[in-house]
Amino acid sequence: MEKALPAIPAKRYFTIGEVSDLCGVKPHVLRYWEQEFTQLRPMKRRGNRRYYQHHEVLMIRRIRDLLYDQGFTISGARNKLQELVQVERDKRRAGEVMLEGVEVIEVEDSAFPDFEDSLPPEEREAVSQQLLLVRRELFEIRDLLSTTH
């Protein structure tokens, strides 16, 4: 019977020990996987201490699933991971939003009054233009971040 992995805390960086606990994989295995999976590149600081980011923890969980649960070899998992990364890149380029690992909270629309309706008519257009600018900047930031992975 498979033990469920713990939730990933909302932190910027994780030590190798924390990632080991979060992913159910020993630290020496994580160091080995760094050599086998080029997508896995934790930041190294003083004394070669590794610091993993949230997306790397998710990737390690995916690698673990491919190897331990789905029975892939290292080579097969490497190829499958490259396929999955390419599919996600293509989706981002097509403008689709990736929500993996994001908790979706459903709320009735009636719980929130329409923002635009609460504004005087003369302010609505200015606020709408500002929101469009913010939206455009957020998309640019997302695109920049997606190219660094």
Q: pTM higher than 0.75 for the full model? A: no
Report pLDDT digits (tens) over 79-101: 998 888 888 888 777 765 555 55
The pLDDT > 90 percentage for the chain reads 43
DSSP 116: G
Q: Distance between CA 25 and CA 61 in Å, rounded?
A: 9
What's the mean pLDDT in 44-69?
93
Q: What mean pLDDT do residues 17-39 have?
A: 95
Mean pLDDT of the 33-42 span: 92
Which of the pair, 147 or 23, is modelled with greater confidence? 23
User: What is the rounded CA–CA span in Å between residue 103 and residue 98?
Assistant: 12
Q: How far is Cα 149 from Cα 145, in angstroms, rounded to an integer?
A: 7
Q: For residues 61 and 22, give the distance between their C-alpha atoms in angstroms, rounded to a whole number.
A: 9
Q: Where are the domains positioned within the chain?
A: 1-104, 106-149
149 against 91, higher pLDDT: 91
Name the band, by pLDDT with cuts 50, 70 and 90, for residue 77: very high
Q: Which CATH class name applies to 1-104? A: mainly alpha
The answer on pLDDT for 126 being more than 90 is no
Banded model confidence at residue 133, pLDDT cuts 50, 70, 90: confident
Q: Lowest-confidence range among 6-15, 126-135, 139-148?
A: 139-148
